[in-house]
Amino acid sequence: MIYWLRLPAIALVIGFMLFAYGAKSYADGPNFIAQRALDPFTQRFGLPAAAQRIKSKQRLQLSVDYSNVFMGGNDQDVERLFLDGETAQITLRYDRKLSSCWQLNVSGEWLSHSEGQFDSAIQSWHSAFNLPDAQRDLVPTDQLVYSYSNAVTGDQGISEPSSAYADMQLHLLRYNHCDNRSALWRFGVKLPLGNEQEFIGSSQADYFIDWHSPWWKRHASANLRWAVSAGLLLPAQYDETPEQRPLVAFGNIGIDYSMSRKLSLIAQIEWHTPFFKSELTELGRVAGQGSLGFRYSALGGLIELSFAEDVVIDTAPDFVLRLAWSRDID
């Protein structure tokens, strides 16, 4: 067990304690949750988190995403997938305005796969609310098995904890009418720095383009705002995976409800089309993940706490806990 992976659970408690912390109001526009609906097998691809708008000249964001995954399928011995474990992702993002029209984003991450500790709690959660459990009770709890095999490439996967630097991403944003409240276009590339054999990144670059709508509201004083995004990813092609699709579509639907100048409630649905031409639900079906959380002005920046579940069963991690802190550095 990698003991520092217990930090996200501690961070959840700390996040709620921050409500009692006195801080200046941090007025800013709404943003999507910068999270991706990816399991450990598809995490090697450069599907980007949603764009982050900034009003200041520069911003840093440090986030921790802790996910539990249990999914798998067998297509008459043609191919087999089994993912059971937990993954911690620490991401550092840097956003900088280049002008009133253009913005640059650079992000890097550290990934760590482990046996985990939340299997029993998730089983109890699914049982209490009569949610699909994917037969978790038939396998040992708190184990690490990320594996895939097919008739051509044979077996690949990990069963021992691993951690390393993963891929980087570079994004360039263009605001319509040079107004950061307007719609925007984003162009990006994933720089391959990870090790695909350990399910950490990849060895090839991916490219994407997407569009983000403005944050709409019914009238000027409305507290509820919503936005959408959609894009296309050109993924690298790998011999060790199932037959891949040449393009992957992706997007987000998000809402932001302002409770006060300091506190907003946030919700989001992320989706993407399949990466592979596979008969397995986990690999060949449109993926969907729903997130719910809040943002709170504290510590001179924004604290964000959210959790996510797969809304299309067996296409994304069962549970993701996310804690992020953003701060302007003008």
Instruction: Tell me how far apart the 2 most distant CA atoms of the chain are, in Å.
Output: 60
- pLDDT at res. 73: 83
Residue whose C-alpha is closest to residue 254's, from 186, 306, 297: 306
Q: Which sign, positive or negative, has the C-alpha torsion 228, 233, 238, 243?
A: positive
Concatenating the DSSP letter of every residue in 71-121 gives EEEESTTSEEEEEEEEEEEEEEEEEEESSSSEEEEEEEEEEEEE--S-HHH
- pLDDT at res. 48: 97
Domain ranges for the chain: 3-324
Structure-block tokens of residue 193: 């720095």
Q: Length of the chain in residues, anyone?
A: 330
Dihedral, 112, 196, 46, 206 alpha carbons, nearest 10: 160
CB contact burial 163-183 (16+ within 10 A = b; e otherwise):
beebbbbebebebeeeebeee
Structure-block tokens of residue 223: 């507290």
CA distance 129 to 127: 6
CA distance 157 to 145: 7
**Residue 270 near residue 36, CB atoms below 8 Å:** yes
- pLDDT at res. 120: 61
Amino acid at 117: Q
CB within 8 A of 260, min separation 6: which ones?
none
- pLDDT at res. 4: 39
Amino acid at 56: S
Concatenating the DSSP letter of every residue in 219-270 gives STT-SEEEEEEEEEEEPPP-TTSSPBPS-EEEEEEEEEEESSSSEEEEEEEE
Residue-by-residue pLDDT tens, the chain, 330 positions: 333 334 444 444 444 444 434 333 344 679 999 999 999 999 989 999 999 999 899 999 999 999 999 888 888 778 899 999 999 999 999 999 999 999 999 999 999 999 877 656 666 655 665 666 555 555 667 789 999 888 777 788 888 998 999 999 999 999 999 999 999 999 999 999 988 888 898 889 999 999 999 999 988 778 999 999 999 999 999 877 888 999 999 999 999 999 998 999 999 999 999 999 998 999 999 999 999 999 999 878 999 999 999 999 889 998 899 999 999 987
Pick the CATH number of 3-324 from 2.40.160.40, 3.10.180.10, 3.40.50.970, 2.60.40.3080: 2.40.160.40
